[in-house]
Amino acid sequence: MDALKGLFSLIDRRLSYMKAVAAYKWSEGLSIDDAGREDIVLRDSLSAAADMGLDVESMREFFLLQIKIAKHVQTAWHNKWNLEGFLFLPQDGQSNTDLEAQIRPALIEIGAGIVRKIRETLPLLQNKDCRARSVTLIRAELKTEFIEDEMKIKLLDALARIKATVQT
């Protein structure tokens, strides 16, 4: 179960960067929606998943959900800043809000770690006997603001549906 905790922690770490992404987009007057960038992220993530022996279609569902939640978090920050005024204080490890030079490279590295952890934890994710413990873990480990409990369970469900194409 420590491996699952590590996976959920990585997912949370990636989603925690969405505040910095939202701040950059806010400061630059950019839209939260960026279909071109989402296509690149999805393509690269699916390629990494295939290289790790993970089924591309089942991984697509997980990645699209993660993108949807990331945009939800960014939107929530923009809504908060619209009401209360813009204030961005970087979190640990997020000292720079330069999207290209700092944030995206960190997201790419974390994303690769997530794919590796999914491959490592696949038997646990698919084990129905571990479901209750997995629910407790994902609820505890995903601490990023604006991520609702329902979203956490949807992520867990998407993870549980991932299949391997190559057995290890």
CATH code for the domain in which residue 76 is found: 1.20.59.10
In a domain, 153, yes or no: yes
pLDDT exceeds 70 at position 1: yes
In a domain, 168, yes or no: no
d(CA 88, CA 99): 14
pLDDT at 91: 63
In a domain, 167, yes or no: no
Of residues 87 and 50, more confidence is placed in 50
Contact between 60 and 161 under an 8 Å Cβ cutoff? The reply is no
The model's pLDDT over 65-116, given as tens digits with 9 standing for 90+, comes to 999 999 999 999 999 999 999 887 766 555 456 888 889 999 999 999 999 9
Question: What predicted TM-score, i.e. pTM, was given to this entire model?
Answer: 0.92
In a domain, 165, yes or no: no
pLDDT at 151: 98
The model's pLDDT over 128-156, given as tens digits with 9 standing for 90+, comes to 999 999 999 999 999 999 999 999 999 99
83 burial via Cβ count (<10 Å: 0-12, 13-18, 19+): exposed
d(CA 164, CA 5): 20
In a domain, 73, yes or no: yes
Region at 35 (left for phi over 0; alpha for psi -120 to 50; beta for the rest) = alpha
In a domain, 11, yes or no: yes
Q: Which tokens in the block code for residue 85?
A: 């005024």
**C-alpha distance from residue 35 to each of 26, 59, 70 (Å):** 17, 19, 13
Domain coverage including residue 74: 2-160
Count of structural domains within the chain = 1
